[in-house]
Structure 1
Amino acid sequence: MAYAARSRRTTAALAALSLGVLALTACNGDADNDTSAPGSSASPSVKAPGKGTATPSPTRSSDGSGDSGSPSDSPSAPAPSKSGSGSGSEDGQDGGVGMCETTDLSYKVTVASRPVNHALLAASNKGSDPCLLSANELVITIPGLDGAAEHMGPSGKDWILEVGESAYAGILFSRADTAGGKSADKVEVALTPSESPTTVPINDGPVTVNDGQVTSFFGTAEDALTY
């Protein structure tokens, strides 16, 4: 009987031990399942762009080709500017500028200290508009002498004489190697042979005249008295 009781206790102990082993195995299995489940670990998520996220715009290439291709993005060519009319045309009609007439100018003749036997003619535009001055048609006549003074020196160039601007010509009254002559205290000036002359007194005159010559018009007194 003692053997039978011992056997029952041993059997009961083995049964309890087996239950414990099974329970431990089940716990370990649950732990393994928890570790390997994909839903248990947090995976990184990509944030979708929303209203607060700035989306970079495509970069435009340097040659002007871009995604938009709109005409307003390309530089616009400047509008052509109107060309102005030049001054100094030989026919005197450029920009509505007419030829200077003898009555358009005021004149002053003054005896020059150098060179000797010379006088300086200054002609100034006294009008209200510029005019085209004919440089080479100046006519100088000395009362009491036959004919007009001959031209000396190089030809000048016609140019626009602005209001208040002056042009200059040199007048030779007498050659040093010519004796005698006529005394004169005035000259007659016309811008062209077809116009009536105006009489101009000679400042610091009178002068002795025996061979009248005149230059073309120049822009400075120094150039006019070079010849």
Structure 2
Amino acid sequence: MRISTRSASRAAASSMVVAAALAFVGFQATAQTASAATKAAPSAVTCTPANTQVTVSEVSRPINHLLLRATNTGTKPCFAYSAPYLRAGADAQAPLWWAEETTPQAVVTLQPGESAYAGITTSSPDGEGGGNEKTLGVIFADKKGNAIDNEKTLKLPNGGVFFNSSAQVTYWQDNPADALAW
């Protein structure tokens, strides 16, 4: 009976050694694959007018809102940092306020062909003054939230949109529903 117990113990020990060796080889292969994928992945850049197409559209709900869409047209992933700096009309003295409560948990990263969205509140009854503006100037932000590159000027829908002092824009979001939900 002792011989069969020893054989069983040796067989179990051998099985454990083989399983450990296979696990180690699998671990090495996984690490090599991950390492190769890391090396092959293109490094991300900041979204700018040079690598991103920007459009603005009217939405049916909520009222007095527009949707800004930025689509990565480059060959590398790009980061849509913070919120866009927006200038409603050619004579605007300052950019629209950023809606701080819309800050996402992470920077929106756009793979080539993907889009980020920002919701724009154009006016509210609480706002003062205002006027019908025909253009919207868009400037991207860098990692620190500073304005970068040249302004991209877009024509607003319907020949113009009314903006007043309550106008503001959300931070970049990864989907239009979140951009318009505030």
* TM-score w.r.t. length of structure 1: 0.60
Question: 1:180 Cα deviation (Å)?
Answer: 4.3
Which secondary structure state, in structure 2, belongs to the residue aligned with residue 122 of structure 1?
A: strand
Of the candidates 219, 223, 226, which is equivalent to residue 174 of structure 2?
219
The whole-number CA distance in structure 2 between the counterparts of 1:178 and 1:100 is 31
Larger radius of gyration: 1
Which secondary structure state, in structure 2, belongs to the residue aligned with residue 62 of structure 1?
A: helix
2:38 maps to what in 1? Answer: none
The whole-number CA distance in structure 2 between the counterparts of 1:201 and 1:222 is 23
What amino acid is aligned across from residue 62 of structure 1 in structure 2? Answer: A
CA contact (8 A) 2:58 2:65 kept: yes
Q: Deviations over 1:74-105 (max 9, x none)?
A: 513432222637xxxxxxxx962222223211
2:85 maps to what in 1? Answer: 139
What amino acid is aligned across from residue 140 of structure 1 in structure 2? Answer: L
Q: Among all aligned residue pairs of Structure 1 and Structure 2, give the percentage whose two residues are the same amino acid.
A: 26
Structure 2: which 5+ runs fail to align? 1-6, 36-40, 142-146
Alignment pair present for 1:123 and 2:56: no
Alignment pair present for 1:84 and 2:34: yes
CA contact (8 A) 1:110 1:204 kept: no
Matches within 5 A, 1:1-227: 61-64=10-13, 74-75=17-18, 76-77=21-22, 78-79=24-25, 80=28, 81-82=30-31, 84=34, 96-134=43-81, 136-142=82-88, 143-152=90-99, 153-156=101-104, 157-178=106-127, 180-192=129-141, 193-211=147-165, 212-227=167-182
* TM-score w.r.t. length of structure 2: 0.73
Question: 1:154 Cα deviation (Å)?
Answer: 2.2
Hey, which bits of structure 1, 4+ residues long, moved more than 3 A?
177-180
What amino acid is aligned across from residue 164 of structure 2 in structure 1? Answer: N
Relative to its length, the structure with more strand (as a share) is 2
The whole-number CA distance in structure 2 between the counterparts of 1:176 and 1:191 is 29
Question: 1:172 Cα deviation (Å)?
Answer: 1.3
